[in-house]
Amino acid sequence: MLCEVCNNEVSKYKCPRCSVNYCSIACYKSDTHTARHADNRGGVGTTTAQTAPVSPSRPDRFSFIVSDPTIKNLLTIPALQMHLSTLIKLADTFESSNKNYLLNLKINDLRSDGSEQNVLIEEFVQRFLKLSDEWESQHGS
């Protein structure tokens, strides 16, 4: 597949923000590529997640979870950021038919009984699941 920025070279990478295939850092940093981010996000350099508007009377599950102080604190830890970034890259790499299976394998390897056992991942997953269950009990499905 050709680079979607310069259309000259074979693409080697995929932008995690806009899914554009590109061949080099020069193409990634080019005005053509960053303009796509502005078109998609409403401004260059925006890194916050964009979500659909939510009714003030019923917050969505994601907003509920990311507003938790423990989750916010955990997300500031570089080691956890690295592991989550790896999972996101894996999600972008695999075909949809295998994606969930392979991501579950990786997450299970990182959890307490896995081969890559990581306390931060375990703490993050446990807190995430607890908050998700709390949201479910308060709001239903």
The mean pLDDT of 92-101, rounded to a whole number, is 75
Q: Identify the pLDDT of residue 127.
A: 93
The pLDDT tens digits of the residues spanning 69-78 come to 999 999 999 9
> How far apart are alpha carbons 50 and 72 in whole angstroms?
17
Structure tokens at 9: 């070279």
Please state the pTM of the whole predicted model.
Answer: 0.53
Apex CA 87: angle with CA 84 and CA 89, to 5°? 110
Q: Identify the pLDDT of residue 32.
A: 76
Domains and CATH numbers, the chain: 1-44 (no CATH), 61-139 (1.20.1440.260)
Q: In which band, very low, low, confident or very high, does the pLDDT at 43 lie, cut at 50, 70 and 90?
A: very low
Q: In which band, very low, low, confident or very high, does the pLDDT at 111 lie, cut at 50, 70 and 90?
A: confident
> How far apart are alpha carbons 94 and 91 in whole angstroms?
6
